[in-house]
Structures are given as C-alpha cells and as structure tokens.
Amino acid sequence: MTGKVYLVGAGPGDAKLITVKGLECIRKSDVLVYDRLASPRLLKCMKPGGEKIYVGKLPDRHTMKQEEINQLLVDLALQGKTVVRLKGGDPTIFGRVGEEAELLRKNGIYYEIVPGITSAISVPAYAGIPVTHRDHASSLSIITGHESPDKLDHSIHWDKVTNATGTLVFLMGVAKIGYISAQLIKHGRPPETPVALVRWGTRADQETLTGTLADIEAKVKAADFQPPAVIVVGDVVLQREQLKWVEAMPLFGKRIVVTRARSQASELVDIIEELGGEPYEFPVIETIMPEGAEKKAKIAAALGALESYDWVFFTSANGVEFFWRHLAELGADVRGLHRAKIAAVGPGTAAALAQRGVIAEELPAKFQAEGLIETFGPRLLPGQNVLLPRGDLARDWLPDKLRELGLQVTDVDTYETVVTGEDDDELLKLLEEGRVHAVTFTSSSTVRNFMHILKRMGLEDPLPLLANVKIACIGPLTEQTALEAGLTPGLLSEEATINSLVQELCRWNAETQLQKSLN
C-alpha cells in the first residue's frame, strides 16, 4: 500500500510556533525529512522508532539537490510509509513545495500541504518590528534575496518592487545586502530608509542589526553578520526601539540543555521558555520499576509492614511517585502509615506528597539527607522503625546515620535509574558550533550519564566542547560530581530546587547582558 506525504511548515525556529496540525503530522510520521532551519526539539516529537533523514548541508557533503529530495519523498511513500517533509517557515514561500508536490502527484502519491508561520512575518515580530503599521506601512512584499545578482535582476523587477509596498522583506539575502541596497536606492528608495537584519529569529541565537540603505552593508561586514537572516526595509523598522520585547526577557539569548528524565523535565523546560530562553531537552536518565523476583519480594515485604513504621523518609519526588506505584500494584492501603511521621527532603518532594493528600513534617533547612538528620535528630529515638523508599543510586549516608543513632532501618530500592538509550546528533552539532550556552544538572546521575552518553556518541573527550558552556548544578553533591567528572561548575543554586536553579540562570544572564552592553 502506498504511503502519504505531509509537506509541513515548521515555523521560524521556535518549536512552539509550529501549527497544531503540523505537530500532529510529526507525531504520526514514520519518516521525518528535515533541513537546517527545523527546530531540533520538533524531531523529538516523533513516535518511538521513527526514522529521521537530514537533507541539509553537512561538513562532508553539499546540500542534497532538490531533485534528490523530491525523489526521496516518492521512494519513501512507495514503501508504504507516512512521511513528513519538514521545512523552515512556510513551505509555500520559497520552500519549493510546488516541485515536491508535482512529483508526488505524478507518481500517484497522496499528499497534504500544511502551512507554517513564515519567517517573513514572525522573525521581525520577535525583533519588535511589525511588518505593517497604520502610520508607516499598509502593504508588504516578500522577496527572495538568495540568488546571484544577475538572477535577482532577472526575477525581480526592481523598478516596480522598490516602491510597490511600504515594507519590503527579503529572505536569504545577507550575502547580497550591498547589491540589494544599491538597487533599492537606484530605483527610488531614499538612502536613509531604515533597514534591519534579524539573524536566527525566534531562536536563542537571535541577533538584530539595524542601519539604513546607505550604511547597512558596511555594518554587516563590520559585525561579520552571517546568515540565516531576514532583511526588513521600511519605516516599520523604527518601531523596534519601542516594541522590542524578546531581549527584555530574563533568559533571552540562552540555549539551555535540560538533562532531567523526560517525565520530570517539563517543569524546568516550561520555566526556561516562559523566561525567554530556549530549552533543549536531552534526558540522560530514566527511572524504571525494579525487575526481578528478589527485588520485588523485598519491596512487597517492606510495604506489607506499613503499620510498623514510626518514620518514612522520602528523599525525592521520584521516591514518592514510585512508592505510590508499588502501593497500587500490591493493593496496599496508604492508611497503614497512620502512626508514622512522614518527612520530605525538600519542597519538591513535599509537593509530590501533597498531591497525594499527605502533608509532610516541617522541611529541613538543607534540602539533602544531612538536613533531615539536623531537623529531626532530637525526635529520632533508638528502637524506632524507619522506612526509606529510595532509588538504587541513593547514598548510604542516611541509612548508616540512622542505624548509628539506634533506629531500625528498612532501606528499599523502589525505583532504578538507568542511562537513556538515545543519542542526539543535533546536540553534538550545537556543541561543536558553540551554540549551547548552559547545561543543567539536577542530580549526580545526570552528570555521570551526560558524560557517558557524549562518549558513547563518539566524543573521546567531551571536556573541550564543554569548556565555554556554563555548568549549572542544583546542589553541592551534584556540583561535587561535576568536578570529579572534570567539569567546571559555574552556577550553584542556593537551594536544591528548580526555582532556585532558574534564579541562578537569570542572574548569570543579567550579568552576561550587562557585560555585553559595556563592551
């Protein structure tokens, strides 16, 4: 049976600017054919086992020719696969979607064109430039700037285009900015006409350069301003000083790698996005239920004696989640803990308990095992029974200390932490290009697994690629693990919480932006 091809616009770069239908197509696709301008985060939305094919430019080969891409889509569909051709922006605006669709039609293959948000409008908006304005421009032209000067002259009627609309937007024209400016001046645009170039718009790398038709070429050369960028010509550019909004956000300009397990990453990812940063999800750990008869028997025995415990210490939100999973699996009733005091290591763990209707004792001042002993020490009496439902990588310090104080400790691994099986070539590319600004670590295992996966992906020594990346750790134990791995932690949260970690990231970015403005 012949498959189907969806020709999908990915939007300008920010992963959340894809359409709802575009995202649905990605999620059900068997194969994703993409290029440089598609957000790497969108690639992670594919169903497990989906195939990704990059058709953009690589160091060891030129961009795949359009005819080859057209035929690739046909071949994949003829194999019965659901294919998404993911293009930056909108596929109908200089996206050559007509050529792809034509060959699909000739081969009897069903296809759909799914529009996307074009960079011609969205990228200027992210730079504070509305492409129309009641006082400055009531019309808009979108023009290719990618061709050679003689091809531009052949495809563009400069005498008509120059003054046809109030705003002119050129896509892919950075290398030709001098020629474009000269032609516009030659055909009637005043030399003082405002111009803006917005590079990597809607992404963490977004950068805006402004000038006039008379001086913009010199400014581009002086700044070594590289593509990809959108060029905006017209008085609407003057709105930028009043309307620029992205640059004012606390994490603007920062691409931050989130290494937490995918099941836990959403909170940190959402906060980074809300504050104007670009999160890059790279989960390096996965938490799973323990396997094996012996492990399960130990858990069953521990949870079968709930009424015997005087204390239950939860040292992570994962500990809470998996404890309740085991209760459900075993058919045990949490009310068996009616005589036990419930302690949480920190606010995240306490919140996980509260979601399940359990209010923890007062929180320790330090959100780690040592803090539990400092806070509850006088109430921990010899002979009391303590349950510690934890992960398999938890430190021995807490159970050892409790036993030293004379308590009876049942220490049981209710979950296991394993290395994820996913490699990520996109992350390697970003690291090699110096486009990762920070990596967040929320546990010692995220540090160890991150380094392990980078080596597994072929980096014999990952440290040089991370030399200029800010390493952000959620607490002193994680920081110590990072140091032992050869990393140089630059940010340490005051408290072992996500909010405290984000506050450190914001403080760092504010200092970075201030230093940049002074230079």
Residues with active-site annotation: 35, 57, 172
Rounded Cα–Cα distance for residues 306 and 310 (Å): 9
Cα dist. 468→331, 433, 464, 487, 511 in Å? 51, 11, 8, 11, 16
Residue located via tokens 């006409």: 193
Q: Which residues contact 209 (CB under 8 A, 6 or more apart)?
A: 196, 197, 199, 216, 219, 220, 223, 225
Classify residue 24 by burial, with Cβ atoms within 10 Å: 0-12, 13-18, 19+.
middle
Q: Starting at the edge strand that comes first in sequence, how are the strands of the sheet with 207-212 ordered?
A: 140-144, 167-171, 229-233, 194-199, 207-212
Angle at 92 between CA 90 and CA 98, to 5 degrees: 140
At residue 425, what are phi and psi to the nearest 5 degrees? -65, -30
**Cα 83 from Cα 6, distance rounded (Å):** 6
Provide DSSP, 358-403. ---SPPPSSSSHHHHHHHHGGG--TT-EEEEEEETT--SHHHHHHH
Residue of 185, 189, 200 lying closest to 230 (CA atoms): 200
Amino acid making up residue 295: K
Cα 344 to Cα 198: distance, rounded to the nearest angstrom: 48
- Dist CA 24 CA 18 (whole Å): 10
Given a contact cutoff of 8 angstroms between Cβ atoms, the answer to whether 314 and 344 are in contact is: yes
How many of the other CB atoms lie within 10 Å of CB of 270? Answer: 11
User: Which amino acid is located at 214 in the chain?
Assistant: A
SS3 content of the chain, % helix, strand, coil (to 5): 40, 20, 35
As a whole number of angstroms, the distance between CA 282 and CA 262 comes to 8
Task: Round to whole Å and give the CA distance between 42 and 19.
Answer: 12
